[in-house]
Every structure is written in C-alpha cells, then in structure tokens.
Chains A and B, each alone.
Chain A
Amino acid sequence: MLTLTSPVETRYHRWSAGVKLAALAGFTLVLFGVDAAALPPLALIAIAAAYLAQGTAFALLGLRLLRPLWPFVALILVWHLWQGDPGRGLAIVLRMLAALAAANLVTLTTRLTDLLAVIERLCRPLSPILPPRRLALAFALAIRFLPAMALHLSHLREAWSARSPRRPGWRVLVPAVLAALDDADHAAEALRARGGTD
C-alpha cells in the first residue's frame, strides 16, 4: 500500500511531525477564524512559496493534489458571480485552497509511521481506557490486512465473473463481510495463543 508521502525528499521531511501538526492546526484556525480580506491571498502565497522553495517537481505534485477541489472552486465562483459578489467568492476559494495546500504539505512531508507515533502520543492520556499497546496493534493489524482484504475481494469478484455474465452485484458483499469476520476470529486466536494484547 502506497502512502501519500512525497517521493521527492524535501527539507520539511526532517522537521518533527508533532511541530508540523501543531503549526498546521494553528494555521487553519487562524485562516478560518480571522475574517480579514488580506488573509486568504497572503496565506496562499506563503504556502505556494513553501512548495516552490523545494523545487518545481514538488510544487507540481502539490498542485496535482488540489485536483479534487476544482469542482468546488468552479461552483463557488459561478455562484458568487451570479449573486453579484465575486470578491467574496474569490476569498472563500483562496481560503479553501490555502487550507488544503497546507494540510497536503504536512501529509506530503511526513512519514506514516511518524504521524501514527504522534497520534499514539496524543492518545496517551487515555491510556486507562485505551492501552497504547492495543492502539498500536489496531493500527498494525488494519494496515496489514488491507492487502489481504483486497485480495479476498478480487477473488470473490473473479468467482462471480466465472459464473455470471453480469457484473458483480451487492450479493458479493456478504461473503466479503464474512471473510473479514473470519479473518478477525483467526487473528484473535493467533493473538491469544501468543499471550494476548497486553
């Protein structure tokens, strides 16, 4: 399973994940909390500069990740043009782009394991009800079983296609859920045999 971490190594990769997350949280709160006309364009310029400082290949990668947003950008611009208030629409669009680009920047430059470690650290105060080991095990199990589950599902689809000219219908979901429940039971037995979760 590929993560979204950038293959282009940047300076930001070496920054601590916790610091980057805190900075992103602060950035987003200010962006959505402070209502100043100059803020969204300035924020977007700052983020664009942060991308471009690491080379055009990296900046293009960042631009590609903004693609899911274009329909919303078009919609908001058309909406506000029609309402006769294009300035407001532009501010909303710039704010949205800046927030998404900033969040993507953290995801692009932080390894999955580092982010999961931060989450585990943040959950430590919950340790009486959520033991850290169990949380780490849940992450590991879910990630490990992603490819296994994908394989199950493609086998089920092939089995369907071998028997029917039609494409797989909802009935294929029943064995898929059963397979997940079976896998869960087997994994639980294996864990217990090795001394349990704690």
Chain B
Amino acid sequence: MERSLTHIALFAALIAILGVIPPITLAFGVPITAQSLGVMLAGTVLGARRGFLATLLFVVLVAAGLPLLAGGRGGLGVFASPTVGFVVGFPFAALVAGWVVERTSLPLGLAAGAGAVIGGIGVLYVFGLTGLAMVLDKTLGEAAFLVGAFLPGDIVKAVLAGFVTVSLARMRPGSVLSRS
C-alpha cells in the first residue's frame, strides 16, 4: 500500500521536473521537453492504474497553482487556455499506454513503444484537439492542422519511451512494474 502511494507521488514529481529542466537534446540540437515523455513512461513503467494516478496527481498540482508545466506554466489558467485538452488528456494517455503494456504479450520494448504511440499520441491528441477546437471555436480538422507540427517530435518521444522502458528492465529486472 505504501509502495503504491510513494510510486504515484514520486512519479508525479518526476513528470514535473522533466518539464522544468529539459534534460535531453536530440541529435539535431533541438531541445525537447521531456514532460510528455514522462507521461508516457508513467504508463509504461508503473502500469495503467498507478500511471494514471501519478499523472492525475501531477495535473492536480498544476491546477492548484504550481508552475510545473513545460515553460513554467501552471494554475487554473491552464484549464482556460487553448492547450487545456493536452493537460486534461495526460492521465488518460498514461492509462492507455500502461494498459497496452500490461495486456499485450509483445516484447517489452515494442509494447511500450506501441503503448506510447496509442496513449501518448493517439489518446492525447483526441483530448488536445477537442480542447483546441472548443476554446478556439474551430472544427477538429482545423485544430489538427495546428498541431501537425508537433507530431514528429512526439513520435520520437514514443520511440524513446520504448527504449527507456526496455533499458530499465534490462538494468534492473522488476523495476518495470507494468510487467511484474
């Protein structure tokens, strides 16, 4: 019981810090915020239930006024801005990513990568586009036109989520809780 609680709380903190300190630079010198990668990893590493709760806890802390979103944004204003859907969708992205890893018998890396694509891109974009369309009063198609530029980066992140999950399992078997 305690372990479940601390995993949720600590992963929420990890997702937050990944947004505040961009830890990695891609080969082309483009810094990417690893926050959505952190959300994918919450699902693929902790599993559906704990990944969902960890990400939900992170979103609640943002709502309560901590500037933890990438770029130092936070507070209730996040939920009135055009990007609201992406923040609200975070927990569901982690949920689906974790679910895919838990319920398939694919090799771990492939399962984690697929989970990250389905949850961290598919599900997240459904939420994100709905939010954009509502706040900006546009159709879903017009909203999709706006976020197309982010798709390549997110695909890279999903692939990295697969690699990181596999490396974790290889370095310390048992650390990937979604498969144990």
Enumerate chain A residues within 8 angstroms of B17, measured Cβ to Cβ.
146, 149-150, 153
A139, B83: Cα distance in complex, Å: 24
Q: How large is the interface on A (under 10, 10 to 19, 20 to 34, 35 or more residues)?
A: 35 or more
The proximity string for A residues 137-159 relative to B, scoring 1 for CB distances below 8 Å and 0 otherwise, is: 11101110110111001101100
Q: Mostly helix, strand, loop or mixed at chain B's interface? A: helix
Query: Given A96-B82, A153-B23, A174-B167, A191–B2 Cβ distance below 8 Å?
Result: yes
Closest residue on chain B to residue A154 by CB atoms: B21
Q: Does B149 contact A (CB under 8 A)?
A: no
Known contacts A5-B65, A119-B64, A173-B164: does B175 contact A181 (CB below 8 Å)? yes
Q: Is the CB of A141 within 8 A of B14?
A: no
Counting CB contacts under 8 A, is A188 at the interface? Answer: yes
CB pair B61 A180 closer than 8 Å:
no
Residues of A within 8 A of B2 (CB): 187-189, 191-192, 196-197
Which residues of B sit under 8 angstroms from A183, Cβ to Cβ? Answer: 6, 10
Q: Does A3 have its Cβ within 8 Å of any Cβ on chain B?
A: yes
Write out the residue numbers on chain A whose beta carbons fall within 8 Å of the beta carbon of B179. Answer: none
Which of B3, B63, B66, B77 is the one whose CB lies under 8 Å from A143? Answer: B66
Q: Report the minimal beta-carbon distance from A147 to chain B, rounded to whole angstroms.
A: 9
Q: Which of B102-161 contact A (CB under 8 A)?
A: 134-137, 146, 160
Q: A167 vs B28: C-alpha distance in the bound complex, in angstroms?
A: 11
Could you tell me if A137 and B5 are in contact, using CB atoms closer than 8 angstroms? yes
Judge whether A50 is part of the interface by a CB distance below 8 angstroms.
Answer: no
- Please give, as numbers and ranges, the residues of chain A lying within 8 Å of B8 by CB-CB distance: 138
Q: Which residues of B contact A (CB under 8 A)?
A: 1-3, 5-14, 16-18, 20-21, 23-26, 34, 37, 41, 45, 57-58, 60-61, 63-68, 71, 73-82, 134-137, 146, 160, 163-164, 167-168, 171-172, 175
